[in-house]
Structure formats: C-alpha cells, structure tokens
Chain A
Amino acid sequence: MADDAGLLSVRNLRTYFYTDAGVARAVDGVSFDVAVGETVGLVGESGCGKSVTAFSIPRLIRPPGRIEAGSEIFFQGEDLVLKDEKYLQGIRGNRVAIVFQEPMTALNPVFTIGDQIGEVARIHAGMSKRDAWAKAIEMLKLVGIPAPEQRAGEYPHQLSGGMRQRVVIAMALVMNPALVIADEPTTALDVTIQAQILELLADLTRRLGTSVLLITHDLGVVAENCTRVIVMYAGEVVEEASTADLFARAHHPYTEGLLGAMPRVGREKDRLATIPGTVPPPTSWPEGCRFRDRCPYSWERCAAEHPPLYQIGGGHTSRCHLADEPERRQHPHPPLAAQRGATAA
C-alpha cells in the first residue's frame, strides 16, 4: 500500500447511510490509489457513489452516513479513518482540498472573495489579515482572474459562473495541497469555460506536482486529462485501467456501454448504443453481479456469484466473470432490463 509514489491509498472503503428506507450502501468496498502528481478520473452514472467516495476521503460524511469499520484511507501514510476531528480540520483545505460541482455552495454570499480566500491562509498558515489579503490577490492572479485587486473586494454574486469556479479553485490551492478532489468541477459550466478551467488545473498540477482525483461523467474530459480511470457502478469499482487501455480495450460491459453511448464529433453517425434500465437504489443492490439486469452477456454464474476484481494484465482490473470465461462475449442477448421494458422503474 504505502509504496513510494503512493499519496492516497483507499482500502475497502464502505460508507453507508442509515435511512428510513433501509441501509443505503452508497460506497461498498472501494479500493484505489492515487500517486504523487497523478490525475485519476472517477467515472460512472449518477448515483454510483462517486461523490460519497470523494466526501469520505477527508471524512466529510455526516449522519445518517457513516464510514464503516474496516475501511482504510491512507493519506501520506496516515490512516484518516483513525484520526480525530482536530487532525482532520488541520488537513482539510490544507493538504487535501475539494472543489465542488456547484461553486455557490462553496462560497459564502456575505463575504468578499478576497476575505474567503484569505481566510484559508489565516486558518492554516496563521497569516495576518494583511498578508492573507495579499495572498488572496496572488491566488486570483494565478487562476487567471483579470483585475484581481478589484475583484478581491467583490462578492460571489458579482461574478460569472466560470469566475466563481476559478475562485473556488483558487481557494483550494492556497495551501498548495498535495491532493485536489474535484467533484464535477466543470459540469455546470459551458464548454469554453470548461476548457479554460481544465487547462488551468492541468497547468497547476504540472507546475506544483499536485495530484487530482477528477470526478466527471464526461469521458471526453477523462480522455484528455487523466492518466488512469476508475469506473464505479453500484457502490463498487468495476474497472480500473490506464486511460489509453480503457478506451482501446474496455473490458467491463458497463464501461463498454458508457463508451458506446457517447456521441463523438467527427465519427460516423450510427445509432447510439444505450444501456437499458437505470442504476438500482443503494438500499437494495442486486445479488451476484450488480450490473446483471442491464448486461447483454449475463448468464447463470452472474446471478449466483458476485464477481471479484479480476486482473486483466498491465494494471487493468475488471469486476466481470467474462475475464474467466471470455468466450461468453460471443453471445450477446437483450439485457433483462430491456426485455422488461427499457425503463422499468
């Protein structure tokens, strides 16, 4: 685990929510690593557990949610699961920073953006008010906000969506964190702004050696920005590979489905492939393979036996019995979810 390049090592993470509808096993035994200076993509449909994974790392899960016993989150060699709140507060915003999807939730509407960025420096570096203000202006400049001296005195509502997201990134980078967790940082933004923000993140990782866990549902964004990809489905990692491998040789039928459903500019316009059905509720993950109802290859074994993460070779893993019985791929059939009517609730 604690290999040399290891910055973050998540082992068997289980984060459950105890709700009236039952126990929601949102994250259910997830393991992965992020090395120093690496940008790792985390993809999957809505409700697969990406955000809960992200929030679990700096221990931001609140009741009725709970990180279950046996989970381990090694960050710079220390298991965060065993740490108290005081230690965690010293880490958050300092060595681990989170960039959320909706910038307004991360910004306080009644304080100027200069105060909010400066606040991080005052808390974690004990800077004076004056130094913190200067730091804020420096950060705004770094993320490419024009006229930073003037902008620092403005309130969040006075900025456009793209500028707000830059401010959130500026806030995340004040302490030069070792790890940035970016949860759909560009989903709410237009494509031109998205390009600017991703360019900015890539530039900063190059210059400062920051590692990034980039959560997104846009595989195009993954292809351009990530060295490695983790695919999540129904609370589990179902495939992990280098980006090149994943796009060239996706193994898991779910990954295959996601790639096929993506329209690609400049490609011949075939009918888009779809994945029938939807992600099941986390209170009742199916037995056996959780993807079985939506899978065009499933057979008896998939109902009987929960697939382990099989090694495909070259650091490529897949949670699918096809790794064991590859000839089954020759015989696709309409998935159960399609037979029942594509959209059974």
Chain B
Amino acid sequence: MTAPRPVGDATRPLLSVRDLTKHFPIKRGVFGRVTGQVRAVDGVTFDVAPGETLALVGESGCGKSTTGRAILRLIEPTSGTITFDGEDVRALDSTGLRKLRRRMQIVFQDPFSSLNPRMSIGAIVREGLTIHRLAEGSAADARVRQLLEEVGLRPEYSSRYPHEFSGGQRQRVGIARALSVEPTFIVCDEPVSALDVSVQAQVVNLLQDLQRDRGLAYLFIAHDLSVVEHIADRVAVMYLGHVVELATVERLYSEPIMPYTQALLSAVPAPEPGVKRERILLAGDVPSPANPPSGCVFHPRCQHPARDAACAKIVPPLEEKAPGHWAACIKQPPTTVSWEQQRDAGGTNPPEFFLPRAALHRSA
C-alpha cells in the first residue's frame, strides 16, 4: 500500500505518520493484571504538508487526541513511524525531544484546565522562551508583550492570572504560549469546541491569520464539521482508531466515499429554516475500542447496500479511490480487494458505488 500524499505538487511533507498505533493496557485487580488492550489508535497513516491544515474528525473516543499527543510524544506510541522535517521522532532522546518541541506545539481543548492557575499569563507565555533559551530579561518581556498583542490580548494583561479571563481569552493565551517558540507545526486539539460561536469565530480567524503570516501547518482536531469545512485544506476521518477516509475538503463534502463519513455529514444540522435534511441514522453506538469488530470496524453499523459477510472478515485497506481521495471500503469501487477475494470470504454482493443524497452538502 502506498501512503496518502498531500495533494498538489509532491512537496516533501512536513510531517509523515505511518501505521501509528497506541494501545492502552486495561488493568484489573490489586496487582494491576493486564486483562486486555484498548486499541485507541490502530494503524493511522497521513501526511501534513508545510503550511497546510489537516483536520482530524470523528466521534468522541475514536482516537483523535491520542493521535495528536502521540505525534508530539506526550504519550509513547506503541508502534509506527513519525517523521517530522526528515527526522525520526520516535528515535529522539530527551534532548532531541526538547528541540523538537520548539518546532511542534500543541493547543488544548479546555481553556480552563490547560493553563496553570498559579502562573500569570505573562509567565505562562514566557516559559517556552526560557526553556528553549530564546530570550531573557527585558528582551523576553518585550517578546511576551509582542506575542500577547499578536493574539489580540492587551500587553498590560501579562501580570493577570488565568481565572480573570474568559474562555476565548484563555484560548488566546494557549495560542500565544504555543507561538512563543516559533513552531512550524501546531496540533490544535479542539481549540474552539468549548467556545461560544461568537468567540469561536474570533479564534478561528486568529488561527487563519497566524497561518497566513507565519506559514504554520496545523493538525486541527475537531468534531464540528462546519468549522472544519471552513478552516481545513484536507480532512482525515477517524473511526475506532482507524483513518477511514482522507481527502480535500472540496472532495470530502461533495463526494464522501466511506459510508461512515456519509453518515457523519448527513448529521450536520442545516442552518436554513424549513430545510429538513435527510438523515442517515446510524444503528447502535460506537463499539468499544477494547473489543473492536472484526474486518471493517464499521460493519455492524454500515448502511452500504452491498455490505455482506466479507465486510466482517476483510480489513479494508485505506486506498486511493480517486486522485488524492483515500477511503477504506471494499464495497466502494475501485478496490484492490478483488471480487474473488471477497467471495472467498463469504461475500455475496459485488462492490457497487453508493452515494446517498442525505450525505451531500455541496451541489459540487
């Protein structure tokens, strides 16, 4: 299987993630006996190009944050490779990791718990400058003021504490902290999910301005598909630890291929009164990642008319269905899993393209 490449000219990716896996042991009893594994991230592959925004979407618990944290090695991956700017991230020692975190930063979802309540916001923003010995004394003070201004906070606020600020303002502090070390890549883990729509718009605009001015690349983790459509260049859809679809925003919203993506898009509320969207209502709940279904992890809930016994047997590869459009489904042609293979696995329905109207948001 060739790995998904960024669309457009084949520039060298800034970040390459290959077959990334993170399993958490399930421990029981007083001796902490390991009785199983939560397969939080299970073979995730994607690239991020310089200056690009790749969105990572999917339902709660599907492994988005774990992926983001594993890339920065805030948690240790179980297996897989992570290459950042040509460097093997998993091979780095602690000195190497510290250097890496100058170029790769993270902004967290919860603006209320991600800032140390006992540090002034000036000290929070300044910390990175000190750790990476980028500035000291009055030069550092000046830099902190400049960063606060850049994210739309008044420099006089630097002596105030996080509790004195609103959610949107705290999120700006988190962004200023990430920017302080001048990274080229930021993992944004649901940076606007906790915010009101009005404040969300301010933070989204800020992230876009910073990207334009500094050429930043983002891995933008989110569950709001309207925000994602607005901010992302490409989108990776996750389900139960797997990337099940990866495409440009334009393609994903006009021709979603993987049946799970289709259901997800159909669930987005339409902000047009009187327009009642058709819905693909998924049966049941997301299964536990401690005990994922066999074959295609989506098969117990899939609405594809050709779904059959082969879906429960064969793990669908993430394959390029159209230029730059990757999806994991053996029933959506073209597929490298031949009809013979599918029949041998008990398949009864040959692949046939399926795109319900309910899944469409753009008249393309």
Give A contacts to B, CB under 8 Å: 45-46, 146, 160-163, 190-196, 199, 217-221, 223-224, 243-244, 246-248, 257-258, 260-266, 269, 271-276, 278, 341-345
Determine whether the beta carbon of A224 is less than 8 Å from that of B204. Answer: no
Please give the distance in Å from B268's CB to the nearest CB on chain A: 6
Please give the distance in Å from B330's CB to the nearest CB on chain A: 23
The 3 closest A-B pairs by CB, nearest first: A220-B269, A261-B201, A272-B201
Contact of B270 among A223, A273, A341 (CB under 8 A): A223
Contacts of B28 in A (CB 8 A): none
B160 interface hit (Cβ, 8 Å): yes
Determine whether the beta carbon of B204 is less than 8 Å from that of A262. Answer: no
Determine whether the beta carbon of B272 is less than 8 Å from that of A192. Answer: no
B29 interface hit (Cβ, 8 Å): no
A223 to B275, CA, bound (A): 8
Determine whether the beta carbon of B271 is less than 8 Å from that of A262. Answer: yes
Q: Add 5 more A-B contacts to A45-B199, A199-B281, A247-B273 (CB < 8 A).
A: A194-B269, A261-B197, A265-B226, A341-B153, A343-B202
Determine whether the beta carbon of A345 is less than 8 Å from that of B197. Answer: no
Determine whether the beta carbon of A263 is less than 8 Å from that of B267. Answer: no
A277 to B68, CA, bound (A): 31
Contact of B285 among A163, A194, A278, A345 (CB under 8 A): A163
Contact of B272 among A194, A247, A342 (CB under 8 A): A247
Q: Contacts A243-B273, A261-B197, A275-B198: A220 and B268 contacting too (C-beta < 8 A)?
A: yes
Determine whether the beta carbon of A269 is less than 8 Å from that of B272. Answer: no
Chain A residue at smallest Cβ distance from B204: A272
Contact of B230 among A195, A220, A257, A263 (CB under 8 A): A263
A243 to B272, CA, bound (A): 9
A264 to B286, CA, bound (A): 27
8 A Cβ contacts from B190-219 to A: 196-202, 204-205, 208
Determine whether the beta carbon of B225 is less than 8 Å from that of A344. Answer: no
A244 to B272, CA, bound (A): 8
Contacts of A266 in B (CB 8 A): 229, 253, 361-363
Please give the distance in Å from A266's CB to the nearest CB on chain B: 5
A248 to B152, CA, bound (A): 32
Q: Contacts A191-B267, A272-B230: A345 and B201 contacting too (C-beta < 8 A)?
A: no
Determine whether the beta carbon of A278 is less than 8 Å from that of B226. Answer: no
Chain B interface, >50% SS class: loop
Which of the listed residues B169, B224, B230, B361 has the most CB atoms from chain A within 10 Å of its own CB?
B230
A193 to B284, CA, bound (A): 10
Determine whether the beta carbon of A343 is less than 8 Å from that of B273. Answer: no
A243 to B51, CA, bound (A): 40
Please give the distance in Å from B156's CB to the nearest CB on chain A: 9
Total cross-chain contacts (CB, 8 A): 145
B172 interface hit (Cβ, 8 Å): yes
Determine whether the beta carbon of A343 is less than 8 Å from that of B154. Answer: yes
Determine whether the beta carbon of A146 is less than 8 Å from that of B196. Answer: no
8 A Cβ contacts from B216-237 to A: 223-227, 229-230
Chain B residue at smallest Cβ distance from A189: B60
Contacts of A243 in B (CB 8 A): 273
Give B contacts to A, CB under 8 Å: 59-60, 152-154, 157, 160, 164-169, 172, 196-202, 204-205, 208, 223-227, 229-230, 253, 263-264, 266-277, 279, 281-282, 284-286, 361-363
A219 to B224, CA, bound (A): 13
A265 to B250, CA, bound (A): 11
Please give the distance in Å from A197's CB to the nearest CB on chain B: 11
Contact of A217 among B60, B197, B204, B269 (CB under 8 A): B197
Contacts of B277 in A (CB 8 A): 224
Please give the distance in Å from A334's CB to the nearest CB on chain B: 14
Q: Contacts A192-B264, A195-B281: A344 and B201 contacting too (C-beta < 8 A)?
A: no
Determine whether the beta carbon of A273 is less than 8 Å from that of B201. Answer: yes
Determine whether the beta carbon of B279 is less than 8 Å from that of A199. Answer: yes
Contact of A258 among B165, B197, B276 (CB under 8 A): B197
Please give the distance in Å from B46's CB to the nearest CB on chain A: 21
A239 to B284, CA, bound (A): 39
Determine whether the beta carbon of B268 is less than 8 Å from that of A191. Answer: yes
A244 to B275, CA, bound (A): 10
Contacts of A224 in B (CB 8 A): 269-270, 273, 275-277
Please give the distance in Å from B278's CB to the nearest CB on chain A: 11
Chain A residue at smallest Cβ distance from B149: A341
Contacts of B164 in A (CB 8 A): 345
Please give the distance in Å from A129's CB to the nearest CB on chain B: 29
Determine whether the beta carbon of B167 is less than 8 Å from that of A46. Answer: yes
Contacts of B276 in A (CB 8 A): 224
Q: Contacts A343-B152, A343-B168: A258 and B226 contacting too (C-beta < 8 A)?
A: no
Chain B residue at smallest Cβ distance from A344: B154
A334 to B295, CA, bound (A): 57
Please give the distance in Å from A315's CB to the nearest CB on chain B: 15
